Homo-oligomer: A and B are copies of this chain.
């Protein structure tokens, strides 16, 4: 992670508060905070703190006080907007911004109509329903309600009328509702006022595969010795075994653009072959496009179906995925993929020869135009000196005879080795299809 942070304090800063006691047990991982952070980043807003707090009014209030004292311009809260007693966000935000709660009659009707549909499921009686309805239609004085995607309205609350402080955007906890309400939330007057003070960054997204982060760090250090990189914010981050290098800067800065060009040029010069995307496209998206007009089949041993699972994840995958065989046992390799038993005996189930035969079998059995085979030692047991844990054999072959084969030793745990094998296999398919 490289983040020079120069000048970053000048822009609009935000804090995020995700509420929900379940987030503090460690059982549930908060998805809203990272999602909101990524959206805010795209808008040119810098997130300085992300807080997870339980469903306790005093903890939420403390979090809001902390962010106000830290001087953020915007706070986004998620969760705690439901109809029950432990849903406290609106009340806490009303108190924090000195804006008494008032019944919003339009919202009362909107919420009433929605709750009526859920009434049977909630098994509430009429009084409880009316109370829940009223509770969810209470809006801090001067705030803008945001129509619900589920049952709970959101709120865009301007700063405290005397003390000032951050604008607070209050959104529900279910990720689907949060996502559905986001655009409406950005369009509210209080949020628009904050966003008017920012300008989206100019961004460049490079994606590299097969280069260690340390090499990119060395490249960046070398460029930095010749060129002033201060006006540029450089983030390198390893995600899904690919190295993401993101460069961003305030729009219109000639110095920043020159610094960006110097970095991109040097990365291209040293690591050009490893750059697989310049648009931020993921390997999944790239491969989906490349497979247009192809028919792909998989033959998996150590990855156990994860590669096929990933190829079939996008909607529309059935247009190019025929299927696959998970040949976990030797019998399955022979019976379902036609791998000769003597080949397995001669070279072992984990061998370049067997990977090749698996790819041939998948091509033939599925009538595919391209097949990808993976067989390896995922561990933790089963390793030998010659074929240690992490030794994985790949073969990608097209019906017209193009082949790429690899047999690296991959690092990490059993899960890492399986996941990394899936990603490596996808990149090998990409290379066969692009001829790179």
Contacts and interface: CB of A to CB of B under 8 A. Distances in A.
B36 A24 contact: no
Given A123-B214, A214-B122, A322 B328 contact: yes
A59 B55 contact: no
B24 A37 contact: yes
A332 B21 contact: no
Interface in A2-31: 2-3, 5, 20-29, 31
Given A300-B305, A414-B315, A26 B22 contact: no
A141 interface: no
A217 to B, nearest CB: 9
B55 A25 contact: no
Interface stretch (A62-70, A263-271, A390-398): A62-70
Contacts of A237: 22, 25, 27-28
B26 A41 contact: yes
Interface residues on A, range: 35 or more
> How many copies make up the complex?
2
A371 to B, nearest CB: 13
A304 B313 contact: yes
A56 B6 CA distance: 11
Interface string A226-244: 0000000001010100001
A52 B33 contact: yes
A62 B1 CA distance: 21
Interface stretch (A42-50, A149-157, A182-190): A42-50
A406 interface: no
Contacts of A63: 49
A38 B27 contact: yes
B379 A365 contact: no
Contacts of A300: 305
A234 to B, nearest CB: 11
Given A329-B322, A365-B335, A23 B49 contact: no
Interface string A376-390: 000111000000000
A312 to B, nearest CB: 3
A298 interface: yes
Contacts of A367: 331
A317 B304 contact: yes
A380 B317 CA distance: 11
Given A33-B52, A66-B66, A313-B418, 9 more contacts: A1-B86, A5-B54, A5-B55, A28-B34, A49-B62, A49-B63, A304-B313, A305-B326, A321-B328
Interface of A: 1-3, 5, 20-29, 31, 33-39, 41, 47-56, 59, 62-63, 66, 70, 86, 121-123, 214, 218, 235, 237, 239, 244, 298, 300, 303-309, 311-313, 315-318, 321-329, 331-332, 335-336, 365-367, 379-381, 414-415, 418
13 contacts: A3-B54, A24-B48, A49-B52, A49-B63, A59-B70, A62-B70, A304-B321, A312-B326, A322-B328, A323-B328, A324-B328, A336-B365, A336-B366
